[in-house]
Amino acid sequence: MKKLLVCAVLLASPFAFASTWDIDAAHASGNFSVRHMMVSNVKGTLGKVTGKVELDDADITKSKVEVSIDVKGINTREQKRDDHLRSKDFFDVEKFPAITFKSTKIEKAGDKLKVTGDLTIRGATKPVVLDVTLTPEVKNPFSKATTRGVTGTAKLNRKDFGLTWNVALEAGGVLVGDDVEISVEAELVKQEAPAAPAAKKK
């Protein structure tokens, strides 16, 4: 009887509705776009994206998100520019090799989510709100893993994170815009609960 009561309590607990999802680094990317010379946008990607989502299936607003993105892998398809972005003028990757995000609040916004969290870039941490879309579950035909997709977007001011380097243009304006559009796209793979041990034969 006691065991039955314990099981009932566990099933009624919020933990019974929680699931853990790992970011599939092979199917994830951190992307950005910033204005260049006031005339065009430079787009690029960052390095490996890792992290996990603790998803509360009963109340998604109680879920938690943690993401880490390798900055050393920055790529704008121009080697000199990429080397400059890795330098102390910008990300200073030798000292600050990763960008991190940790959620602090999640709200529903129609069929999307507003995910507020602490974003850390170059050692500076600021609150940022991501507009997030989460897709329904599918079964990966190769790995058979339960998978779903997630996309998060936001706009931030790079100066808030100490990325202040710039050059004034003769005609007015600056070489690099302050506003940066960022996005993270990833596939999430569900951690399956371990199978219950087989009952011993008497």
Q: In angstroms, rounded to a whole number, what is the distance separating the alpha carbons of residues 34 and 183?
A: 12
Q: Is the pLDDT of residue 15 over 50?
A: no
Q: What is the pLDDT of residue 55?
A: 95
Give the whole-number percent of the chain exceeding pLDDT 70: 87
Q: What is the pLDDT of residue 193?
A: 72
For range 144-156, the mean pLDDT: 97
For range 188-192, the mean pLDDT: 95
Residue scoring higher pLDDT (11 or 78): 78
Q: What is the pLDDT of residue 10?
A: 43
Q: Is the pLDDT of residue 184 over 70?
A: yes
Q: What is the pLDDT of residue 18?
A: 87
Q: What is the pLDDT of residue 119?
A: 98
Domains of the chain listed by start with CATH number: 18-190 (2.40.128.110)
Q: In angstroms, rounded to a whole number, what is the distance separating the alpha carbons of residues 102 and 69?
A: 12
Q: What is the pLDDT of residue 192?
A: 85
Q: How many other C-beta atoms lie within 10 A of the C-beta of residue 155?
A: 12
Q: What is the pLDDT of residue 198?
A: 56
Which residue type does 44 have?
Answer: G
Q: In angstroms, rounded to a whole number, what is the distance separating the alpha carbons of residues 109 and 60?
A: 12
Token digits of residue 13: 């607990």
Q: Tell me what the pLDDT averaged over the chain comes to.
A: 91
The predicted-structure confidence for 76-110, as pLDDT tens digits, reads as follows 999 999 999 999 999 999 999 999 999 999 999 99
The stretches of the chain forming alpha helices (DSSP H) are: 2-12, 79-86
- Of the candidates 54, 15, 7, the one whose C-alpha atom is nearest the C-alpha of residue 191 is 54
- Of the candidates 77, 48, 43, 85, the one whose C-alpha atom is nearest the C-alpha of residue 180 is 43
Q: Is the pLDDT of residue 182 over 90?
A: yes
Q: Is the pLDDT of residue 178 over 90?
A: yes
